[in-house]
Amino acid sequence: RTVLRELTELQMKNPDISPLESLPDTDPNVFYKRYLKKIRDLGEGNFGKVMLYVYDPANDGTGECVAVKSLKHEGGGHHHEGWMKEIEILKSLYHTNIVKYKGCCSELGGQVVQLIMEYLPLGSLRDYLPKHRLGVAHCLLFAQQICQGMDYLHYKRYIHRDLAARNVLVENKCLVKIGDFGLTKYIPEGDVYYRVREDGDSPVFWYAIECLKESKFSFSSDIWSFGVTLYEILTHCDPRQSPPAVFPRDLVVPSYPLAKCLQKQKQMCSFQQVHLLMRQCWDFDPARRPSFKSLIESIEEIRK
């Protein structure tokens, strides 16, 4: 203890001497800003911005690549609270199809500002799919992995509320993971839905009918969003066919025209079984939609 105190005092006087965090009892989840070297921007959404950094505490080029997410608009206690929740949620999730939490980086003496995650080199499905025209079987592999990650999330009693191709990350050509838990909510045992009060930038084109009409979010509304995500995957995230592009501007019942538009598209006819799954995900009655567990099985059947 005394040695540690002396070292700390010494360090405060001479910030350049050997860093405290190189001691063996260092918390591996604590990242120090001074060892983070920015490489490039990876992407941004409504609230966050994600950048690629190399974390190299030894400063000898042996560092590792990490994805660093920070809030786009600093300040605002309300945003900060949600941001801390997002970090806590990601920290509590361990699954092959969910992006891995690595740690946090705090400003000296300040609040936690950055979330450190594993870096997925191929970016989001929205970056990846337009460049790699995958066949149906490959699309279904990705879809099934999304269902596996989502099934785990639901088992933990979280609803994602923002499932979309932009929030699914690609590790390699055989593995995708769900990222971005910024809108995720915990549903206590016994409850069935979460009602939103704040009305921020909502990903309305991915929202289930009851979310739009009554602001009610449930496990079943994630299933609806999965249906839209499946649609995005099968259309290779082509911006001309994206949900906002094909929905009419009338937001009252956006899903119905989407289903109709799919029927019209000749290319979708060959995907009849997949199309049927999508339609089940878009049942106006949330209780009649499948669960992620049953979707995993249905997709398995189609893939056979």
Under the criterion CB under 6 A, does residue 43 sit at the interface with ligand ADP? yes
From the list Mg ion, ligand ADP, none, which binds 203 (C-beta under 5 to 8 Å, kind-based)? none
Please calculate the CA angle 294-297-302 and round it to the nearest 5 degrees.
125
H/E stretch holding 4: helix 2-13
Under the criterion CB under 6 A, does residue 90 sit at the interface with ligand ADP? no
Piece of the chain touching ligand ADP by CB under 6 A; list 41-49, 75-83, 231-239, 282-290: 41-49
Under the criterion CB under 6 A, does residue 55 sit at the interface with ligand ADP? no
Under the criterion CB under 6 A, does residue 236 sit at the interface with ligand ADP? no
**Widest CA span of the chain, in angstroms?**
75
Q: Going by C-beta distance under 8 Å and a sequence separation of 6 or more, which residues neighbour residue 160?
A: 150, 153, 178, 181, 183, 184, 222, 225
For residue 117, the cross-strand partners are 67, 101
From the list Mg ion, ligand ADP, none, which binds 263 (C-beta under 5 to 8 Å, kind-based)? none
Does 50 show up as a binding residue in the annotation? yes
Under the criterion CB under 6 A, does residue 89 sit at the interface with ligand ADP? no
Separation between Cα atoms, residue 194 and residue 206, nearest integer Å: 17
- CA 273 to chain CA centroid, nearest Å: 27
From the list ligand ADP, Mg ion, none, which binds 160 (C-beta under 5 to 8 Å, kind-based)? none
Q: For residue 169, give the 3-state DSSP assignment.
A: strand
Does 49 show up as a binding residue in the annotation? yes
Piece of the chain touching ligand ADP by CB under 6 A; list 7-15, 17-25, 162-170, 270-278: 162-170
Under the criterion CB under 5 A, does residue 180 sit at the interface with Mg ion? yes
Cα–Cα distances (Å) from 138 to 28, 142, 143, 167, 174, in that order, read 36, 7, 9, 18, 8
Under the criterion CB under 6 A, does residue 123 sit at the interface with ligand ADP? yes
43 phi-psi bin (left φ>0, alpha ψ -120 to 50, beta other): left
Give catalytic residue positions: 162
Binding residues (CB under 6 A) for ligand ADP: these are 42-48, 50, 67, 69, 99, 117, 119-120, 123-124, 127, 166-167, 169, 179-180, 182
Residue ranges at the known binding site: 42-50, 69
Instruction: Return residues touching Mg ion (CB under 5 A).
Output: 45, 167, 180
Which residues line the annotated binding site for ATP?
Answer: 42-50, 69
